[in-house]
Amino acid sequence: MSPSVEQRPIVFDVIPSDKVGEVWAVVVDKIGDALERSGGRFLPEDVRENLEAGNMQLWVAYDGAVKAVIVTEILIFPRLKALSVFLVTGEDRKSWIANVEKLEEFGRLHGCVIIEAWARPGWQRVLTDWARTHILLEKPL
């Protein structure tokens, strides 16, 4: 019989903008890796600047180790506010994906009426209660 490994519960929190610097070393590589797959629009330091300015929000799922990093931003349109999921990266998705409901709660708390994400097609299979309304196609010039 093998010894049992104690499972820690997943903690999923938004990091206050004035605390981003305290966790940055733990999340920067994950953010950098995700940004490399998004066409060179941002570098990690651009994201950090927006997080520290309060323009974006940093979410971390952890159980002693970081399982996921999510970056959101509130977009204000003429007719509505949206919580936009800017970046999601992580591992062991099954352990933290249910916490996405906290993003929805955060959005409602801040007056958002929709939550949106530009994401790779595989996310549609995961977020089954989200509707695909658009896709992003791009071509380098």
**pLDDT tens digits, 47-100:** 999 999 999 999 999 998 999 999 999 999 999 999 999 999 989 888 888 888
Domains and CATH numbers, the chain: 11-126 (3.40.630.30)
Give me the mean pLDDT over the 19-29 stretch. 97
Q: What predicted TM-score, i.e. pTM, was given to this entire model? A: 0.85
Structure tokens at 108: 């409602």
Are 116 and 136 a contacting pair, CB within 8 Å? no
